Structure formats: C-alpha cells, structure tokens
Amino acid sequence: MTEVDLAVVGGTVVTGRGAERGDVLIRGEQIAAVAAPGERHDAARVIDATGKLVLPGGVDVHTHFLVGFMSCRSVYDFFSGGVAALRGGTTTVVDFALQRRGRSLTDGLKHRRMQADARVAVDYGLHIVVTDVNEATLAEIPAVMREGVTSFKTYMTYEKDGLMLDDGALLALLRVAGREGALVGVHAENEKIIAYETARCLAKGEVAPRFHALTRPPIAEAEAVRRAISLAEAAGAGIYIFHLALGREVPNIRAARRRGLPVFAETCPHYLTLDDSRYERADGTLYVMSPPLRTAEDQKLLWAGLEDGTLAAVGSDDASFSAEAKTASSGSFATTVNGVYGAEFRLPLIYTFGVETGRLTLPQLVRIWSEGPAQLFGLAPRKGTIAPGSDADLVVIDPERRTRLTAQSHYGPVGYNIYPDVDLSGMPVCTVRRGAVAVEEGRYLGTAGDGRFIKRGKPDLASGIGVGAAP
Ligand code: URP
Ligand code: ZN
C-alpha cells in the first residue's frame, strides 16, 4: 500500500494529454503518483474530489503585483495578489522586475526580490522589464539568466511613462537574447500612431472612454506585432507577444509559426469575453486597458488561436487599480490608469467561456492555463502539470457550481466588476500549493512568505501545441 501525505481522490484528473478518473498522491511537496481509481493507499489526509475536476495549479506569466503606473498604485502586493491568484487556482505567477533607466538589470532584480520574497503567497518568477539597453545591460544578461530570470519584457509604447524601448535597442536586446536562449516579450503597440491620435482627440476635447479605443486603432497593434516579429526574425530570437487583443493578428502569428519561427503570443480573459461596446457604457472608464478591447470578430479569432495552439497561453495581465483610481481622472481616457484586475478569475472565465461553450476541451484548457506557459517559460516539468516528480500544485473545481461576480467578489478592495451579467463556473473549491492546501472555499490557510521564488530554466522555444505550432 502506498503511504502518502495527501491524496486527492475520486476526481477527474486533467492534463494536456487527457482527462481521466484517478487519485493524485502527494508526498511532501511533490506528486508521488497518479493512481487508478480504487487502488489502495494510506494517506495522512484525503481530499474527496468525487464529481470534481482536478487540474494542475495555474501558471500565470503576466501579473503586475505591487506596481505603480500613471500615478496610481495597484491594490495587490505580492501577498494579497498571491492570495487572489491562489483563490483563483493559480499557484505560480511570473511578475516583473523593472530596470530603471541608468541602473542595472541586477539592481532591478534585487529590488523586486526584496519586495516580494518575505511576503509572497504564491510561487513566483520574474521577467525583467528592460528600459535601458546599453553595452553594460547586454553584458549582464547571462548573469541574470543564471539567477533564474530567462525572459525579458519590453514596451513598444508608454514613452512618456519612461518604459518604451526604440527599435534599435529592441533589436540589440533580441540579438543577445537569441544568442543566450532567453525569450523577449513585448507590449506591442505603435507609440507614434497612439500619440498622434491622442493629441488630435484631446485638441477637440474628445476625452470619453471610447476615444481610448479610437486612439489605439487596430493598425497600432497590428503594425507593432509585425515589427516585433520582423525584428525577432532578423535577430534570430524568440518573441512573446503579451496580451494580444487584436484577433485579426492571429493568422500572422500562425503563419510565422508555420514558417518555423519561435513566435509566441498570449491573450487575456478580458479580450476573450468583452468587446469594445463596453466603452459606450456609463462605466466605460473601468474598461480602459492597453491594448483596448476589440470587436466580437476579434474574439472569435482569438478563441480559434487558442483552440489550434497558435496562442500559447492566457495570461491575466492583472493590474489591480481600484475603482477610485480608475475613475479619478473624471472620465478622461488619456489620464485614466491603464489595466484591469484578472489573476483571481482567470480560470472561471476560460472555463465558462471556453469549455462550457464547447470551444475548448479540458486538455486544451490545461495547455493554455498551465502546461503551455510552464513549458515555454522554463518552469516545466516542475510546474504546470500533474505528473510524478512535479510540484504538487493542484486546483479542484466543481463544474456544477456557479458563481456570480460582484464588485465585492475580489480578495482585496478592487471595488468594481467588469463581468456583471454572467454566472461563472470553475471557481476553485480548493487550491494545493506544493502539497499543502493553500486555499479552501476561498479562505487562505497559509501565511505571508509561503510562496517561493522559482529559478526558471531556459525557455523551451521548440515548445508548441497543436496545429498552430507546426512548422
Ligand atoms: O493596460 C494594461 N495592460 N495595463 C497593464 C500594464 C501593461 O500594459 O501591461
Ligand atoms: Zn502591457
């Protein structure tokens, strides 16, 4: 008889390869085995998952905890954001360390780890946001990779916020990343188009939320995505498009993949479930994010990209600015802080709108929820799957249970709800982080600092899923 510390029994265990009844047996922090139903084992603690789905804990490679942006501060720090993520079934996040201009990558990394390590509730890794490319920065890349930071983030916009990299700098970064095997991610929007359109609207006093979308037209996103792919190809590097909103660009990404290029992209729950009609509402300012919400047709193309594996992941882009912060600028889109919350509700949104509608199978869900991003960002096989030897990170959901979100549903005082009219399935019953029950029925059972920094390996640029990945 197998002796284990924890057994999650009677559920349907879902991985990227299939879904079948089984018992997940956990010893210490790792999965010891996945046993056939009815096999005998001696467990110190048993979780009965009969009638439920047992998924790998989520891997969210796009969170912005403890962040300041456009004069606002996020509600969530590494503790509260981590708890919110765990309540939503995510057990690993990859957040960002910022290189300040004139400072080193290492300074940015040290500073961020100092902010996070003692408080973080969820296991976490970091991308470094590169804002200052020079010989010293480029020379540091192998050293930060040895520290487990194997991906970098760049902004093709947000010039006045001090974040934008110009094309020369991006190309130089891509060349070194290509040589070292790191992955460069981009926020792909054309700064000059946005700046021109914004100035034009402001001159006419056009400040309502719908002008946020109009000043960031599809071409601003499409051009930047294509430029990023061209620069990466020229440099011989992999590229990851963060938060793709423009479904119309999915065919280009698919085509690049089919040419054998390591071109990857994620989208986010809000782009999959909300469209640009939200900007016409009285509370349209709550939906100000960049890129902006697009059309219903774009949503269809994004879902198709997830279904055939062209899109590698659904990241939350959690930017938890409160309702007060988002409405502080009296409705002017130009000064409304960009970004929406998301880490806590990533799973129910993809489950409800993806699996329940028949767009995605359960294994497809797991690929974009945990396995795909873990593999791509150097976290596999430790994270993202249910297999012997992997960390025992699990989420149990009851497919029969429905939850209606309100402004009060969040773990923290975010104070607004952008999904008002839907009943969601797939809110976790419990979340297991490295073998310990971290959240049960929404209650966090751990303490601050229970999360761990995860040193990531090199990105698996050959990783790819489904048709979209086939070179
Ligand atoms: O509007 C967004 N996406 N805000 C968060 C920061 C970023 O652009 O990723
Ligand atoms: Zn962004």
Give mean pLDDT, residues 324-348: 95
- Least Cα distance to 331 among 281, 406, 274, 290 occurs for 281
- Least Cα distance to 371 among 356, 359, 360, 387 occurs for 387
pTM of the shown model: 0.98
Residues with CB under 5 A from ligand 2 (ion): 187
- Per residue in 70-99, pLDDT tens? 999 999 999 999 999 999 999 999 999 999
Whether 6 shows a pLDDT value over 60: the answer reads: yes
Q: What is the pLDDT of residue 330?
A: 78
Which residue's CA lies nearest to atom 4 of ligand 1? 339
Give the Å distance between the CA of 289 and the centre of ligand 2: 9
Three-state DSSP class for 424? strand
Ligand 1 atom at minimal distance to the Cα of residue 158: 8
Is residue 235 within 8 Å of 266, Cβ to Cβ?
no
- Per residue in 203-231, pLDDT tens? 999 999 999 999 999 999 999 999 999 99
Three-state DSSP class for 355? helix
- Per residue in 339-382, pLDDT tens? 999 999 999 999 999 999 999 999 999 999 999 999 999 999 99
pLDDT band at 468 (very low <50, low <70, confident <90, very high): low
Residues 6+ apart with CB under 8 A from 210: 276, 279, 280, 284, 333
pLDDT band at 466 (very low <50, low <70, confident <90, very high): very low
Q: What is the pLDDT of residue 465?
A: 45
Whether 170 shows a pLDDT value over 50: the answer reads: yes
Kind and range of the H or E run holding 353: none
Q: What is the pLDDT of residue 463?
A: 79
Query: Ligand 1 pocket, 64 CB below 6 A?
Result: yes
Give mean pLDDT, residues 276-287: 97
Q: How far apart are CA 239 and CA 152, in angstroms?
A: 10
Q: What is the pLDDT of residue 260?
A: 92
Is residue 178 within 8 Å of 151, Cβ to Cβ?
no
